[in-house]
Structure 1
């Protein structure tokens, strides 16, 4: 079985699970209820739903010819499988593309929302990128757990060299949870049903977020 096929199967399974969860439990209370038109057809969606002023930008490009926006769940196995592809793309196109990540913790994951708050709290100390990587690199150690993995995440924060008093305060702060929810609400408004969901230059990515697919689209967009 090829790597691309494995990712495709994992993504399909993840999407099926979250669709079932939404059907059973509905969207979280207070979430956006009116979907943005055009998302399913791959047409450009309103830019304000994709990139906010406080969105986390891991790569930037002066010419803005290519913008990738990924809605992700740190506990999602499909996101973990896509992570190496995204990192390879970021390294190869450093300074040539914008890469933005948005939170979209899935309802069936015990620690997905907590992991998003961990990343956001690390970002308060300008260590979002480091924590983003650590959460995916260690996903097999904490993902799919039925109990809270807060102690594990606190250890990750120590390894990242964070001020632990400030980190724990930010982790528990209501505004941190609200920041995660704001991303999630944009995802619901865009009718996102699973992760990773990637938008390429304002439209839903056609195909899987594999290195080969992303590279082909980026090269075409950057071509003179």
Structure 2
């Protein structure tokens, strides 16, 4: 074999080995998180966390979420549409993973909004996500700007500014940080469907895994 072909063949072997190693690492990491969730089920879903969807739903999505995370913003409308499409069967619970600078401040704002009602929480969240590129973009965050996007939601802003310092909100943040460490969650969004990590991180992968869980839980055939 001529030398150029040997070099190309060697490079191809290295690429394939790297791809295989990356896939193996991802698979192992997913399995490890799955084992941790099984062992520490209480660390996955807390009753104090905000939820959307029917309480009686048999398919439970838990999302570890950062309001400054671009992928979280992009996935949110899709997740919401899956809840509405499968009305009564799917429920979403958000857990906070404040990995970005300023995210903890925004979470306190959101939780202060939740003190004014569940509907207010989701209105505030959607307003904040819709304007994410203004207050959090390319590693530059200015969380104080979020207040300017909440005027149209009906939020009592002076009350929310006072309530965001409530020790109950600090306790939620502390609990979520503890559970992140227990479950070794290091990226957002991280999804779990009925306690199982999302296998294929994509809108279609999420849809397929949810459909499978619906089929198993409700004994119905769901087409992909």
- Aligned to 1:172, what secondary structure does the other structure show? coil
How many Å separate the matches in 2 of 1:110 and 1:183? 16
Offset, 1:41 = 5.5
Q: Is the 8 A contact 1:60 1:99 kept in 2?
A: no
Q: How do 1:11-90 residues align onto structure 2 when only pairs under 5 Å count?
A: 38-39=32-33, 44-62=38-56, 64-90=57-83
Q: Is the 8 A contact 2:66 2:96 kept in 1?
A: yes
Q: Tell me the equivalent position of 1:29.
A: none
How many Å separate the matches in 1 of 2:113 and 2:55? 24
How many Å separate the matches in 1 of 2:129 and 2:85? 20
User: Does residue 1:217 correspond to 2:213, yes or no?
Assistant: no
How many Å separate the matches in 2 of 1:73 and 1:81? 12
Q: Which of 114, 133, 144 matches 2:105? A: 114
**CA radius of gyration, larger in:** 2
Please give the root-mean-square deviation of Cα atoms over the aligned residues, in Å. 2.2
- In terms of fraction of residues, the more helix-rich structure is 2
Count of equivalent residues: 183
Q: Tell me the equivalent position of 1:148.
A: 142
How many Å separate the matches in 1 of 2:109 and 2:63? 18
RCO higher in structure (CA 8 A, sep ≥6): 1
Instruction: List gaps (5 residues or longer) in structure 2.
Output: 1-30, 220-224
Change (3 A) 1:221 1:147: closer
- Residues 163-203 of structure 1: per-residue CA shift (max 9 Å, x gap): 22211101233432332222122112110011001111112
Relative to the length of structure 1, the TM-score reads 0.73
Instruction: List gaps (5 residues or longer) in structure 1.
Output: 1-36
- Aligned to 2:200, what secondary structure does the other structure show? coil
Comparing 135-144 and 191-200, the one that deviates more: 135-144
- Aligned to 2:186, what secondary structure does the other structure show? coil
Change (3 A) 1:58 1:45: farther
Q: Is the 8 A contact 1:59 1:99 kept in 2?
A: yes
